[in-house]
Structure 1
Amino acid sequence: MVLAVMLLVVAILCAAAVIREFKTRNFFAVAFAGVSALVFGWFSIMTLIEPLISQAQ
């Protein structure tokens, strides 16, 4: 559970970086932070959902 929360915090920080870098028009950083936000967000959501799925089986 702690891992999922830490991954979610990283995903939120990456989303903030996307907004900040988009304002400065640094599109390489926007792409990198966007991909990072998607990956860390995916892993955080799946880490939170996995115990629910494994208990149902």
Structure 2
Amino acid sequence: MELGFIILLVTILCVVAIVREFKAHNMFGVAFAGIAALVFGFFSIGTLYWELIRPLFQN
């Protein structure tokens, strides 16, 4: 479960990097930060779902 929160923190930092790179007009940085945010976001949501939500609905 801790892994999901750590990855979620990395996702939030990637979103901050996207905004920062947009301000600097660095589209290469925006692309890499965007891809990282998508990948880390997917895995953080998947991990938190698997560890927190799924056990609530099991018999």
Q: Is the shorter-chain TM-score for this pair beyond 0.5, marking a shared fold?
A: yes
Let me know the Cα RMSD of the aligned residues: 1.2
Q: Give the equivalent residue in structure 2 for 1:29.
A: 29
Structure 1: where are the runs of 5+ without partners?
none
1:19-54: CA deviations, max 9, x gaps? 00001000000000001001001100000111333x
Question: Is it true that 1:20 corresponds to 2:3 in the alignment?
Answer: no
Distance in 2 separating the partners of 1:49 and 1:5:
11
Q: Which amino acid aligns with 1:50?
A: W
Where in structure 2 are the equivalents of 1:1-57 lying within 5 Å?
Answer: 1-51=1-51, 52-53=53-54, 55=55, 56=58
Cα displacement (A) at 1:17: 0.0
Distance in 2 separating the partners of 1:13 and 1:19:
10
TM-score by length of 2: 0.87
Distance in 2 separating the partners of 1:45 and 1:25:
29
TM-score by length of 1: 0.90
